[in-house]
Amino acid sequence: MNKDFDKWNEIKKEIELDNKNLIIKEREIWWTNIGLNIGSESCGKWEKFRRPVLVLKKLSHKNYIVIPLSTQIKTWTWFEQYEFKWETYTALLYQIRMINIKRFYVNEWKIWFEKFLEIKKRLKQLLNL
- Would you state the torsion angle of the CA atoms of residues 66, 71, 72, 76, taken in this order, to the nearest 10 degrees? 40
pLDDT band at 117 (very low <50, low <70, confident <90, very high): very high
- Domain residue extents for the chain: 5-127
Q: What pLDDT sits at residue 129?
A: 67
pLDDT digits 0-9 by tens, 77-115: 677 777 777 788 888 888 899 999 998 988 888 999 998
User: Domain 5-127 belongs to what topology?
Assistant: SH3 type barrels. (2.30.30)
pLDDT digits 0-9 by tens, 24-82: 999 999 988 877 565 555 655 657 768 899 999 999 999 999 999 987 776 666 777 77
What is the CB neighbour count within 10 angstroms for residue 80? 22
The pTM is what? 0.83
